[in-house]
Amino acid sequence: MLANQSTKAFLASQIRLSGIVVMASIALSVTLVWFAVADVAAEFRFISLLYAVLIPAVVAPLAMSYTVWQNLKNHHLHAEVRRLANCDDLTGIANRRSFTREGARRLATVAASDTPLGLLIIDIDWFKQVNDRYGHEAGDEMLIHIARKLQQGSPSDALVARLGGEEFTVLCDVSDQQDLSTIAETLRRGAEDACLLYRGEPIRVTISLGVAIARPGDTLSSVLSRADNALYAAKNCGRNQFALAA
């Protein structure tokens, strides 16, 4: 969606620029010809001015069309480079690099506005068994499946990222600890209730979550560390649950 909006805005700006260039080319051509044929007969002057309008009116749009096409190709190339740098290749959600950068920015913003920021670390339970039983292709499909479920169950402004392997994270604004717990339970239940149909065979998994709220003076690393400790607690207590960081 954002990529489409960016492309439309870029194309609109290129079209406006092309219109300006075409009009300027015609105006310059007419001006030069006007002074060049000022002393000739009126009939010849009219024909000269007509060509002064027609030639740039044809040539300039053709030249600008090619320029816009090249610029649009470059725009798509740069957008793809940015996407590859910031998105996880497999799931399409934010990667660890993007999460680290955006997470630090959000944490600084929250510190200034005094709005609670919640962080959830999510791990797929017994993920190795999916790979061992169904193969790594099924494991990849499961990672994509869980990533989509996390996106669907998270608040609209949440940053959903894959940290690596079968571990994900969600960063979002919350009102309090209860609000964060509600989000965690929504994600847990969404994963538990969902089913991945792989080659006609249903595969189900559960997730464990560690959740933490950023404190004054926290860095992204310190919040991640507390959430990670809570994740280990959730796994040690039987998995398929969430635990709040101390």
User: What positions carry a catalytic annotation?
Assistant: 166
Residue 135 main-chain phi, psi, to 5 deg: 105, 165
Order of strands across the sheet with 167-173? 159-164, 167-173, 117-124, 207-213, 242-244
The answer to whether 79 and 6 are in contact (CB under 8 A) is yes
Alpha-carbon span 146 to 194, nearest angstrom: 9
155 three-class SS:
coil
The answer to whether 215 and 207 are in contact (CB under 8 A) is no
204 three-class SS:
coil
